[in-house]
Structure 1
Amino acid sequence: MGTPFFRVDSIGVNVTVTCTDAAFLASLQSAWEPATLPDTAPAAARTVDPLMSEEEAAQLLTTEVTLSALQAQRGNLLMLHAAGLADDHGRVAALIGPSGRGKTTAARTLAAHFGYVTDETVAITAEDRVLPYRKPLSVIVPGSPYKVQLSPVSLGLKPLPDAPLTLSHLVLLDRRESHEGTARIEAVPLVEALTEIIPQTSYLRELERPLQWLAALAERTGGVVRIVYAESHSLPDALQAVLDGAGRHDGEWAAVVPDAELGVAAEGDGESLVPLTVLDAVEAEGQTAVLQSDGMLQHLQGVGPVLWRGLCRGESPDQLTARVEEAFGPAPDGDTAAALRDVLEAFWQSGLLSRVSPAEGVQEDPAAGQSVAAGR
């Protein structure tokens, strides 16, 4: 007989788990029960190290299975670091937030009322379908350096509904110990939401026009909402309210990426400014999010969105000045052009622009500006 094993479904990826200790493997298989698969051809393999403590090995296994799936699905799915809960109709709410924000505790509480999809990664197809990842829940145990891996079945979490899973809501989970009363539901402007969501993604740069994907998804699902709460027991009513339409809002957005044919704006001394190639950029409600090629997100406000839009169209400094004055009026000292030069310098320092001199060619040496990094 060969080495004992079992297989699990991790966001559509078949992962084989092997271990020479059959008894330990059986306990791991029990923890992974909702995600186990019949014996079919594996796409990835993970071997549990029998020399580790069982707690350490179980925690490491969860991490390795997750990473295997993320790597296998890179470029295919929008993958959010989020808990996922489904109602009886298959509508899935993705509760997004960084580690330590309480997603596992929230998933454990909510999955007594809603179907448990995942407490780790909500994976979404281009058609808004959600691939479940019903992994064990990683629970902190006081006094132990490792998280215990608890089966969703042993915790009494609800199974998936008998309906296709479809992403219906994007929810920013915001636990605040100072919050009083019931959970509060807030509508979140798109660009502000993107600055929080982008770091909680996996392999976002592998997707084509990722910001437009997220913006369109937010539009189809009624906008991004935030749930502010202190204790997880207030979440079931809040999530039901969100599923029933609380916080829903509409908002227009537009793609604003540099035009390869027009993106050169000449300055008076003959030097020109050229918007650097970016992965994607969207504008909404007077704010712009620009995802740079290195995965950093720039959040433009004030005159920034007007300037960026004009630069992407190849407008000259005079045209940019006219646009800004039309939108905001002249600068307090009357020299709008000088004020805009300072903003454009900041664009250059942030890596949004390069300088082109007729004699020297493109000059690119921008320093890194304040920005938000995409996750994994």
Structure 2
Amino acid sequence: MPTPRSVILFRIDAGSGTRSPWAEPSPMSCVGLMRETNRVAARLVATLADVQTVTLRLRVFGLDVDVDVPAERAESIRSQWAWCLPDSPAQRDIAPLPGAPELNDEPLTVTRGADGESDDHIADYNLTTSITREAIGRRAAQFVMLHAGGVAEPETGRVAGLVAASGTGKTTATRHFCSRGYGYVSDESLIIGEARTVMPYPKPLSVVIDPSEPYEKTQHDPGEVGLAFPPAGPLTLGPLVVLVRERGEEASGDVARLEHIHLFDGLAQVLPQSSAMPEIPGSLDVLARLAQGGGGIHEMHYREIAETEHLLRRALALEPLEPFWRHVPGAWGDTSPYLPPEQFPVDPDRVAEGLEVERARFVDALVDDEVMEAIVLLGATPVRMSGLATLVWDASAEPRDLEQLTAQCVAELGDHPDATALVQETLVQMLADGVLRPVE
């Protein structure tokens, strides 16, 4: 019987509120605070009255976005966002995912802060972040949205998705490839709809100023830095490539390589770099089919991105792979999927005494029966399981106790002298991880 393993690879921690430092002031401090508040408000009104604004119309995620900007910054911001203007050759709309909710195409309005509140490059980057965030919120459940660079093969319109966390290489890789003949789709958000179609989001390139501050970036018009437009006609999703830049002692020998990884391991890496996936019915199955249709998920290892052009060509030439998993649809209910999953730590003795357990609520799951592997989406948290943990989870669709689960595992795997102890240990861990819950 294999050793149990059930590892949470990624968890979204719930934020906490903050108390006002002005809590419970004395009556005198209230008077002083009101006077100071009035003075600040008067200065703010006077400042805003002096600021002349201009409204720019952009086309983002298939939405019209009206951006209110200070007049003196309008030309610079218009230049940065030139490829997202409604008449840009980079523009095209795509159909949403099958069964998606009706599109809400009402225009969005976003305001850039007035000059003087921060450096221009910070305000411009904050504007980019605001536009992206608002568009993602509007398109939730309508498209698969990945935090990935997109580069399009000019002859075929096939798009490679370059997946990486913010500040770890997406823009550098996208800029490199798209200044060498590939079409620029996005350096941040890959938007995928019906039949694997891809919608460009050719936002300004966000370039890190100081590596120690990965979220401070300057914004650049794609044409200004020599990038190519995506090819005319439909764009379709090709391979999903996870960027792995190796540095220092890690980068020994021939580093540049393309490695195919198990689909579930790949999904566990891609899901944290996605938006609103729990809101898509059958989300894991949808994402898995997208990945397999492009040849699976691969890691691209490299020291410098210039070493990888042959690897990108190889990735774009990959043939589709067939689905191999069993899809287990889940149901999450009305609770926000973005809160941390509930956990159920229990004393091992309670398990030994016959505590019944069952699957905790989950959004979606995939099982590879051939190698006893599984991935389960608990809210927005992917949980990767293998071996005994997979069998236990699969058998717990209905309430089960230690004796019943041990008997089922022995029937599947053969007898083992420590079978009961191994299953008990697995149950305790899976309850603590929130994959199972006690039946009270």
TM-score of Structure 1 vs Structure 2, range by shorter chain:
0.7 to 0.9
CA distance in 2, matches of 1:255, 1:41: 35
Query: Which of the pair is proportionally richer in helix?
Result: 2
Q: Which amino acid aligns with 2:424?
A: R
| Match in the other structure for 1:63 | 129
SS at match of 1:167: strand
Matches within 5 A, 1:230-241: 230-241=303-314
Match for 1:208 among 268, 281, 301? 281
Q: How does 1:251-266 map to 2 (within 5 A)?
A: 252-257=324-329
1:286 deviates by 2.6
Max Rg structure: 2
* Residue of structure 1 aligned with 2:115, choices 11, 29, 50: 50
CA-CA distance at 1:171 after TM superposition:
0.9
CA distance in 2, matches of 1:48, 1:149: 16
Aligned Cα root-mean-square deviation (Å)? 2.7
Paired residue for 2:230, among 136, 141, 160? 160
Q: Decide whether aligned partners of structure 1 residues 128 and 251 sit closer, same or farther in structure 2, where only a CA change above 3 A counts.
A: closer
Change (3 A) 1:315 1:258: farther
Match of 2:424 among 341, 345, 359: 341
Confirm or deny that 1:298 pairs with 2:383: yes
Residues 1:141 and 2:209 are matched in the alignment: yes
Larger relative contact order (Cα-Cα within 8 Å, sequence gap ≥ 6): 2
Deviation at 1:101, TM superposition (A): 2.0
Instruction: After the TM superposition, list the runs of 4 or more consecutive aligned residues in structure 1 that deviate by more than 6 angstroms.
Output: none
**Does 2:437 correspond to 1:354?**
yes
Question: In the TM superposition, what is the alpha-carbon distance from 1:106 to its structure 2 partner?
Answer: 0.3
Q: What corresponds to 1:307 in structure 2?
A: 392
Corresponding residue of 1:125: 193
Name which of 260, 277, 280 aligns with 2:361: 277
Alignment-mate amino acid for residue 222 of structure 2: P
Tell whether 2:395 aligns with 1:329.
no
Letter of the aligned partner of 2:85 in structure 1? T
Does the alignment pair 1:174 with 2:174? no
Letter of the 2:109 partner, please give it.
Answer: A
Number of the residue aligned with 2:161: 94
Spell out, residue by residue over 1:172-217, the C-alpha distance to the aligned partner (whole angstroms, 9 max, x if none). Answer: 1111121544620111101111111111111222221211111121
Q: In terms of mean alpha carbon deviation, does 135-144 or 197-206 score higher?
A: 135-144
Distance in structure 2 (CA, Å) of the matches to 1:162 and 1:4: 31
Listed as ranges, the gaps of 5+ residues in structure 2 are 1-51, 89-104, 333-350
- Judging changes above 3 Å, is the alpha-carbon distance between structure 1 residues 189 and 250 closer, same or farther for their aligned structure 2 residues? farther
Deviates more, 1:123-132 or 1:169-178: 123-132
SS in 2 for 1:297: strand
Q: CA deviation at 1:305?
A: 0.9
Q: Is the 8 A contact 2:83 2:203 kept in 1?
A: yes
Compared CA separation, residues 83 and 290, structure 1 to 2 (3 A): same
Note if contact 1:32-1:136 (Cα within 8 Å) is conserved in structure 2: yes
Distance in 1, matches of 2:58 and 2:254, equals 41
In the alignment, is the contact (CA less than 8 A) between 1:258 and 1:313 conserved in 2? Answer: no
CA distance in 1, matches of 2:226, 2:435: 50
The answer to whether the 8 Å contact 2:143/2:192 transfers is yes
SS at 1:298's partner residue? strand
| Superposed displacement of residue 314, structure 1 | 5.8
Query: Could you list the runs of 5+ residues in structure 1 that have no partner in the other structure?
Result: 261-266, 357-361, 363-376
Identity of aligned residues (%): 30
Counting matched residue pairs gives 345
Deviation, 1:33, is 0.6
Deviates more, 1:341-350 or 1:270-279: 270-279
For residue 141 of structure 1, give the secondary structure of its aligned residue in structure 2: strand
TM-score by length of 1: 0.84
With the length of structure 2 as denominator, give the TM-score of the two structures.
0.72
**Aligned-pair distance for 1:138?**
1.1
User: 1-side partners of 2:282 and 2:407: how far apart?
Assistant: 30
1:251 CA displacement: 5.6
- Deviation string 1:233-277 (CA, Å, 9 cap, x unpaired) is 12222111111128x7556111235699xxxxxx89664212122
Displacement after TM superposition at 1:9 (Å): 2.2
Q: Distance in 1 between matches of 2:355 and 2:209?
A: 61
CA contact (8 A) 1:171 1:224 kept: yes
Give per-residue Cα distances to partners, 1:29-82, cap 9 Å, x unaligned. Answer: 011111112599733333342223322221111111111111111121111111
**Taking structure 1 as reference, are residues 316 and 141 closer, same or farther at Cα in structure 2, changes over 3 Å only?**
closer
